Amino acid sequence: MKSAALYNEYKTKMQKIADVKYASAVLQWDQETYLPPKGNSIRGNQIATLSEIAHQQFTDPKIGDMLNELVAKDDLTDTQKKNVQLSLTDYNKANKFTSDFVRQMSETTNKSFHAWIQARKENTFAAFEQPLDELIQLKKQEADILGYETHPYNALMNEFDKGLTVAITDKVFADLKPQLSLLLDEIKSKQQLDSSFLHQHFDKDNQWKLGIEILKRMQFDFEAGRQDISEHPFTINFNNVDVRVTTRIDETDFGNMTWSCIHEGGHALYEQGLPGEEYGLPLGEYCSLSIHESQSRLWENNVGRALPFWQHNFLLAQTFFPKQFGKISIEQFYSAINKVQPSLIRTEADELTYHFHVMIRYEIEKMLIEGSITTKDIPAYWNEHYKQYLGIEVPDDKRGCLQDVHWSHGSFGYFATYSLGSLYAAQLYAAISKEKESVEKEIAQGNNETVVHWLKKNIYPYGRYYTSEELCKKATGETLNSTHFINYATKKYRNIYKT
């Protein structure tokens, strides 16, 4: 068969498989937003069935024959070659798993997710321990099936960021930790900032309206997406013109919803910016979760916690909350939203102590997968290290080891990408600022076009064509360099705290 015809056949088959996967994703989105409680069990079966069907379709030997034939062709475009090569890698990996294993993983994950929801309601890890342990045993099997060198956790980390390893991550944290600690020590010696006015009563409906308006100003396309409420904020897509974000609202905490919207909005802009013509193919998918996280952290912190952003948007916040913010100056607000103080909840943490939250989860996951601790050890290890790293006592499981949804989803190997994403974000933003020195003046005038345009040019269009490090080098001229984050954080917080 001629190359063009064979490639089109491959593309059609891949898109049909994607249709099944995204149908399952719609059910997962509904499960976390609108599904009535009694529908949990059957919904789990529905998702498991679709996961199994998609796996069976993709691992069909005919797909493998087609991919191997295409790889041997010498007249494909570079884009076509890359799609085929990546699909063949995915195919070979998928064939390591039986359909029974895929279904078992899906069913166990569904069981674990609902156990997590119940455990949070009861505020006890005990209700989550056994389902989580079953899931961890499956993740250990997954690591063995995938294969690894040196450490079993490497196999799982590679699923979220190709080439990421324990050795690389350990070094990143070893370099980052002492520099963060020094900066935190400087801040501790200064008078603490007043953020009490961020913890008044903020009407739920007005918070919702503010969040929608901020997303619009970030250029999130509501004709190609929507926002809803969930237990834990997340972004999910079914194609680049159907991207869903969720948030949660605390009427006593202005920041909870606000930066959730900005964070998830950054993820969503990336998904909306992926090439639609590559739907169902590797180049229509995001590069890695480290790069994905760089998009949310860039908007949340480098833009959304910076003074220029609020020089334009603080008036909007005052319009929705005149009683709470009417007598607050922009300088007071800017300082308050950047207050550095150890806290219990990762998603509400300042951008310095945030990394210690990530380190704790990374260490727990690594030890669970290597077997040096067991599931029942999680609460004690968690509480001990929150005391050691952040100097705070964990009062209960809901605000401790039950706070994140990721383990209930089986997302082991994921947490390190949160810190890596912050490091990439600082480096990307430095490149934007270098390319156009007026960017902050533009943001202060409500013009986010330079940031959006740069990301559309340098990050969004490539899909999985490059690895994280390759894409970073192409966009900024160098691979990941944590100096950009340290320089950014040091300059910002020494200015805020007058150190």
* From 107, 264, 293, 365, the catalytic residue: 264
Contact 240/284 with Cβ under 8 angstroms?
Answer: yes
Which residues share a beta bridge with 225?
Answer: 243
What is the C-alpha separation between 157 and 288, in angstroms, rounded? Answer: 11
The sign of the torsion formed by the CA atoms of 275, 277, 280, 282 equals negative
Question: Of 120, 110, 109, which Cα lies nearest the Cα of 43?
Answer: 110
Which strand (E) or helix (H) includes residue 244?
Answer: strand 242-247
- The token pair at 418 is 């949160």
Half-sphere exposure of 97 (CA within 13 A, CB side): 25
Pairing mode, strands 225-229 and 235-239: unpaired
What is the C-alpha separation between 36 and 15, in angstroms, rounded? Answer: 31
| Catalytic residue check, 264 | yes
Backbone angles phi, psi at 255, to 5 degrees: -75, -25
In this structure, the chain runs to a length of 499
Half-sphere exposure of 101 (CA within 13 A, CB side): 15
Question: Of 202, 318, 319, 195, which Cα lies nearest the Cα of 254?
Answer: 202
- Other CB atoms closer than 10 Å to residue 118's CB: what's the count? 15
Rounded (10°) angle between helices 166-188 and 483-497: 10
What is the C-alpha separation between 341 and 179, in angstroms, rounded? Answer: 17
What is the C-alpha separation between 227 and 267, in angstroms, rounded? Answer: 13
3-class DSSP state of 352:
coil
Residues forming the active site: 264
